[in-house]
Amino acid sequence: MAKLINLKINGKPVSVPEGTLIVNAAKMVNIDIPVFCYHPKMEPVGMCRQCLVEIGRPMIDRASGQPVLDENGQPKLQFGPKLETSCTTPVSEGMFVITDSEKAQGGQKEILELLLTSHPLDCPVCDKGGECPLQNLTMAYGPKDSRFIFDEKQKADKHVPLGDLIFLDRERCIQCARCIRFQDDIAGEPVLGFYQRGRRTDIVTYSEPGFDSVFSGNTTDICPVGALTTADFRFGARPWELKQAASVCSQCPVGCNVTFDVRREAKAGGGYVVKRAMPRQNEQVNEIWMCDKGRFAGYQYTEAESRLLLDAGALESTLSLAAAKLAEAKSDAVFLAGGRLSNEDFYNLKQFADNLGAKAYLYTQHGGGEFTTAYGLSAGSNLGDLGTGDTVLVVASDLYNEAPLWHLRLKAAAQRGATLIVANARATKLDEYSSFVIRYSYGDEIETVKGLLGKEKIGEAIKNANNLVIFYGADGLGLAGTSALASACAELVTERAGKPNNGLIGVWSTPNQQGALEMGFAPSANLAAELKDKTVYILAADPAGDDPALAEALKSAKTVIVQDILETETTKLAEACPEGRGIVLPAAAYTEREGTYTSGERRVQRFYPAVPARPGTKADFALVAEIAKKCGFELEGRSPLLVMNQIAASQAAFSGVSYAKLAEVTAQWPIIGRSDLFYGGTGYENRQGLGVTLETRPGTVDGLRSAVNALRPKEDELFAVPITKLYDNGTTIVPAKLLAAHIDRFNGIVLNPATALKFGLENGSQATVSLNGVLYPAKVLLDESISTGVVLIPRSFAIPIKEPVAVKLAALVKAQEA
């Protein structure tokens, strides 16, 4: 613990750790000092000069070095002639800070008046109106009328697109540089800058393509005026019309806490729609940030036109039909569930499957889950605590694309002094912050991990780490590969099992794969064979869309029951089945119901309903319970809270977990939200629960896996491996119309420039990939960091790749030329 410093602020005694800035010390005792440039997540710069206060310091006698005392025996204070910026000044012993004197407030008023001379005062048409720090501060401190002649205001451009997601209003910008500093210091993507100087200073980007950062949306939250706005919310609604609903992002395993802002809209027939997603503070998960995928694709898919709906009567009869099929099939039924379901859904599903004697599989290409349940992070962990002395190993994962907030958190950990080791076959954005970058060839993942301890410095860093966290992903790997990789990684942490801030994290592609694993689900190694001739019940998964082999298998299934929120290739396949052999059940989206997800860090978090469920849809756990009931098996279908009680009672890892517990909050620092807004921005304070991390259950894994034999392509073949891109053609992303350009940019196969050259290809040219005898056209993208024998194929685009395979490549020859 740092030394405590005693001081007084407006007469109030305060004790805070050494090094605390006055502005923060004041905040801790509920004294708001107005700020614009200062943000508690960033280093102070003292630019805006809004936070001026009077500071008195004890007079020290030169000769004795002792404080000079007044007639009452109190230390005499010396006040400087000037006001000082409280955001740049650390506290010191005996300090006396005055924030509310005439002098201090006069200074604050004067700065505000100056600031307003450059502001257009267009609050009536400003998106930030109603939640604007500048507005609030003007109300509290501002001059009643302006001495500045409005006509002399400098005109500047409005509605400037900085990229396709963020717009800038140059007139409103107050040059606090929060956005620039966020991009430089926190995101590590310095794509915003000031241009010109003095009163002409402007925010610009010269980068290509524009303001393109995975974290760009956060700048709109911390912008203290309405200068930066998101393309989706601009002119969308007034903040005071919005109702808030707490939720958890469903786009990746990080589980960022978010708030959905909702209002009724004529366009939606008077119904509720989500207007925007914003981060909700959880310092142990996402702090006060979220990524653009979460913001711009996080809920949008739940409002897609292709939502599955049934009228109530039809739903009932469809459920009966499904129940009849499953009751008939009994142990001949196979359940297949995707990681988008909630814990409660998975629990009910598993109970039902066990009751029928049916097999229940998790639909994923990412294996090794048995190790993350046994050796995953345990209670008391917080990536935000990692720093000097700790080691983080990232293997076969491109966190920037797969789980952006983890990328951010590990970057910060490295900057705090943690040893970051990144092992991958290609360059990833995290390399820049790592102490060691290990580059292996695709296929050598497991060998590489096994060899780590033998490397001098890296071995030391792993063995001697105070804390060791390992992230493993599926970059270039399929199910078998990831399972073996998990096993190799687990060996490095087995001894640390159960210790906070130690453990193995799977970088899953869905928000709740970890929950499914905890509930006993596992993937099947040979799914196509498993499905043949069976009665298949598929939930939140699109096997037919992902894999032609699975589509074939499904076509030969006895019955296909698909439960989802959106139309997919699989629902279409079911619809196309002969009468009675294909059944489609419409599920409610997670924005329309309650539930919990278990994040990759094994944190169970609640999401709350933001909008009412669409008529003719029900939450998955309820649909499952209704079908089960029709099969004569009672399951809890009334509320997820009750399901969670059952989970807690029956699943060791969940013991002690309850909805009440999940809703608990403890004080978080920095204090954001509340009424002032100017301090932390417009992100939301967390009043709905910080979640609970599951206890680890070491020792539940039998035997570790051995490596799979690496594939060796033939002379005229390339080694094709799957990778994950942030924005892809997945069902939950494509409906986000704003992201179309981003999706398109990544839509292609990736080659080393030399390989491309060999095939007569260049960046952007068209090629064909021949995979299992099928020809797929694809755009070529280049990456110098990969080796020449490989081609990277992004998942969820056009080419169905599950695992490393040998492919042939050719330049696309246009029909007429051929």
Partner 1 sequence: MLAEQYPDEIKAIFAKYPVKRSAVMPLLYLAQREEGYIQKESMQEIASMLELDVTEVAAVVGFYTMYHDEKAGKYRMQVCTDLPCALRGADKFMESLCENLGIKVGETTPDGLVTLEEVKCLGGCDRAPLFQIQDGDKVAFHENMTVDKTMELVEALKKAQD
Partner 2 sequence: MTHILLRHRDIPDLKNIEVYKKNGGFESLKRAVTAMQPKQIVEEVKASGLRGRGGAGFPTGVKWSFLPDNIWPHYVVCNADESEPGTFKDREIMESNPYQFLEGVAVSCFAVGATEGYIYLRGEYYHIALYLDACIAEMEKRGYLGDKLFGTQTSIRLKTHLGAGAYICGEETALLESLEGKRGQPRLRPPFPAVYGLYGKPTVVNNVETLANLPYIIEHGAAGYRQFGTEKSPGTKIFSLSGNVERPGNYELPLGATFRELIFTHGGGIPNERKIRAIMPAGASSSIIRVDDESFDKVMDTPMDYENVQSVGSLLGSASVIIIDDSHAMDWVINKTIDFFKHESCGKCTPCRDGNYWMLHLTKRIHSGQASENDIKVLDSVAAQMYGKCLCALGDFSTMAVRSAIERFPEDFKVRQA
Query: Binding residues for ligand FES, per CB under 6 A?
Result: 35-38, 46-51, 85, 87
Least distance from ligand FES to the Cβ atom of residue 111, Å: 9
Report how far residue 460's alpha carbon sits from residue 440's, in angstroms, rounded to the nearest whole number.
20
Contact of residue 222 among partner 1, partner 2, ligand FES, none (CB under 5-8 Å per partner type): none
Give the DSSP H/E element, type plus range, for residue 272.
Answer: strand 271-279
DSSP characters over 442-492: TT-HHHHHHHGGGSHHHHHHHHT-SSEEEEE--TT--HHHHHHHHHHHHHH
Contact of residue 35 among ligand FES, partner 1, partner 2, none (CB under 5-8 Å per partner type): ligand FES
Contact of residue 191 among partner 2, ligand FES, partner 1, none (CB under 5-8 Å per partner type): partner 1
**Of the candidate residues 102, 195, 243, 706, the single one contacting partner 1 (CB under 8 A):** 195
Contact of residue 205 among ligand FES, partner 1, partner 2, none (CB under 5-8 Å per partner type): partner 1
Least distance from partner 1 to the Cβ atom of residue 230, Å: 20
Report how far residue 809's alpha carbon sits from residue 818's, in angstroms, rounded to the nearest whole number.
17
Least distance from ligand FES to the Cβ atom of residue 191, Å: 23
Q: Which is nearer to ligand FES, 108 or 365 (CB)?
A: 108
Please provide residue 714's backbone torsions phi and psi, each rounded to the nearest 5 degrees: -80, 175
Contact of residue 152 among partner 2, partner 1, ligand FES, none (CB under 5-8 Å per partner type): partner 2
Least distance from ligand FES to the Cβ atom of residue 589, Å: 41
Report how far residue 600's alpha carbon sits from residue 319's, in angstroms, rounded to the nearest whole number.
33
Per-residue b or e along 236-246, where b marks 16 or more CB atoms closer than 10 Å to that residue's CB: bbebeebebbb
Do you know the residue count of the chain?
818
Report how far residue 278's alpha carbon sits from residue 425's, in angstroms, rounded to the nearest whole number.
35
Residues 6+ apart with CB under 8 A from 184: 190
Copy the structure tokens of residue 319: 């459920």
Q: Which is nearer to partner 1, 195 or 235 (CB)?
A: 195
3-state DSSP of 741-778: HHHHHHCCEEECHHHHHHCCCCCCCEEEEEECCEEEEE
Least distance from ligand FES to the Cβ atom of residue 181, Å: 12
What residues form DSSP beta bridges with 203?
194
- In this structure, are residues 236 and 276 in contact, taking their beta carbons and an 8 Å threshold? yes
Q: Which is nearer to partner 1, 184 or 265 (CB)?
A: 184
Q: Which is nearer to ligand FES, 36 or 654 (CB)?
A: 36
Least distance from partner 2 to the Cβ atom of residue 133, Å: 14
Contact of residue 204 among partner 1, partner 2, ligand FES, none (CB under 5-8 Å per partner type): partner 1
The residues of the shown chain that bind partner 2, judged by CB under 8 A, are 36, 44-50, 52, 81-83, 88, 107, 110-111, 113-115, 117-118, 147-149, 152, 154, 174-175, 194, 196-201
Stretch that binds partner 1, among 61-69, 202-210, 447-455, 753-761 (CB under 8 A): 202-210
* CB-facing half-sphere around the CA of 266: CA atoms within 13 A: 2
Contact of residue 311 among partner 2, partner 1, ligand FES, none (CB under 5-8 Å per partner type): none
* CB-facing half-sphere around the CA of 768: CA atoms within 13 A: 12
Q: Which is nearer to ligand FES, 46 or 500 (CB)?
A: 46
Q: Which is nearer to partner 2, 202 or 783 (CB)?
A: 202
Q: Which is nearer to partner 1, 37 or 204 (CB)?
A: 204
Q: What are the DSSP E strand ranges found in 280-417?
A: 333-338, 359-363, 391-395
Stretch that binds partner 1, among 41-49, 192-200, 500-508, 772-780 (CB under 8 A): 192-200
Q: Which is nearer to partner 1, 166 or 337 (CB)?
A: 166
Please provide residue 258's backbone torsions phi and psi, each rounded to the nearest 5 degrees: -135, 165
Per-residue b or e along 433-455, where b marks 16 or more CB atoms closer than 10 Å to that residue's CB: bbbbebebbbbebbebbeebeee
Least distance from ligand FES to the Cβ atom of residue 121, Å: 21
Least distance from partner 2 to the Cβ atom of residue 174, Å: 7
Residues 6+ apart with CB under 8 A from 723: 398, 401, 475, 476, 750, 792, 793, 794, 795
Least distance from partner 2 to the Cβ atom of residue 5, Å: 17
Copy the structure tokens of residue 379: 């209670």
Contact of residue 132 among partner 2, ligand FES, partner 1, none (CB under 5-8 Å per partner type): none
Least distance from partner 1 to the Cβ atom of residue 201, Å: 9
Instruction: Look up residue 2 and give its DSSP letter.
Output: P
Residues 6+ apart with CB under 8 A from 505: 372, 376, 377, 469, 470, 471, 472, 600, 601
Copy the structure tokens of residue 712: 């060796």
Residues 6+ apart with CB under 8 A from 383: 284, 406, 409, 410, 413, 469, 601
Question: How many distinct helices (H) and strands (E) make up the chain?
Answer: 24, 33
Least distance from ligand FES to the Cβ atom of residue 38, Å: 3
Least distance from ligand FES to the Cβ atom of residue 488, Å: 49
Copy the structure tokens of residue 477: 């790997």
DSSP characters over 432-455: GG-SEEEE--TT-HHHHHHHGGGS
Q: Which is nearer to partner 1, 100 or 783 (CB)?
A: 783
What residues form DSSP beta bridges with 423?
395, 438
Verify binding: residue 205, partner 1, rule CB under 8 A. yes
Nearest to 340 by CA among 675, 678, 611, 607: 607
Residues 6+ apart with CB under 8 A from 334: 358, 359, 360, 361, 530, 531, 534, 535, 536, 537
**Of the candidate residues 90, 190, 498, 520, the single one contacting partner 1 (CB under 8 A):** 190
**Of the candidate residues 67, 193, 387, 616, the single one contacting partner 1 (CB under 8 A):** 193
Contact of residue 507 among partner 2, partner 1, ligand FES, none (CB under 5-8 Å per partner type): none
Least distance from partner 2 to the Cβ atom of residue 12, Å: 25
Contact of residue 81 among partner 1, ligand FES, partner 2, none (CB under 5-8 Å per partner type): partner 2
Verify binding: residue 434, partner 1, rule CB under 8 A. no
Q: Which is nearer to partner 1, 433 or 776 (CB)?
A: 433
Verify binding: residue 433, partner 1, rule CB under 8 A. no
Verify binding: residue 156, partner 1, rule CB under 8 A. no
Q: How far is CA 36 from CA 23, 148, 190, in A?
A: 12, 21, 21
Contact of residue 107 among partner 2, ligand FES, partner 1, none (CB under 5-8 Å per partner type): partner 2
Contact of residue 51 among partner 2, ligand FES, partner 1, none (CB under 5-8 Å per partner type): ligand FES
**Of the candidate residues 30, 64, 72, 196, the single one contacting partner 1 (CB under 8 A):** 196
Nearest to 242 by CA among 121, 122, 127: 127
Least distance from partner 2 to the Cβ atom of residue 97, Å: 17
Verify binding: residue 208, partner 1, rule CB under 8 A. yes
**Of the candidate residues 16, 204, 336, 362, the single one contacting partner 1 (CB under 8 A):** 204
Task: Please work out the total of residues on this chain that contact partner 1, with binding judged by CB under 8 A.
Answer: 15
Determine the distance from the C-alpha atom of residue 744 to the mean position of all C-alpha atoms in its chain, rounded to a whole number. 21
**Of the candidate residues 194, 433, 436, 633, the single one contacting partner 1 (CB under 8 A):** 194
Least distance from ligand FES to the Cβ atom of residue 36, Å: 5
Stretch that binds partner 1, among 64-72, 203-211, 215-223, 710-718 (CB under 8 A): 203-211
Residues 6+ apart with CB under 8 A from 668: 281, 282, 283, 686, 690
Q: Which is nearer to partner 1, 212 or 518 (CB)?
A: 212
Least distance from partner 1 to the Cβ atom of residue 202, Å: 8
Copy the structure tokens of residue 768: 């064909």
Contact residues toward partner 1 (CB under 8 A) are 189-197, 202, 204-208
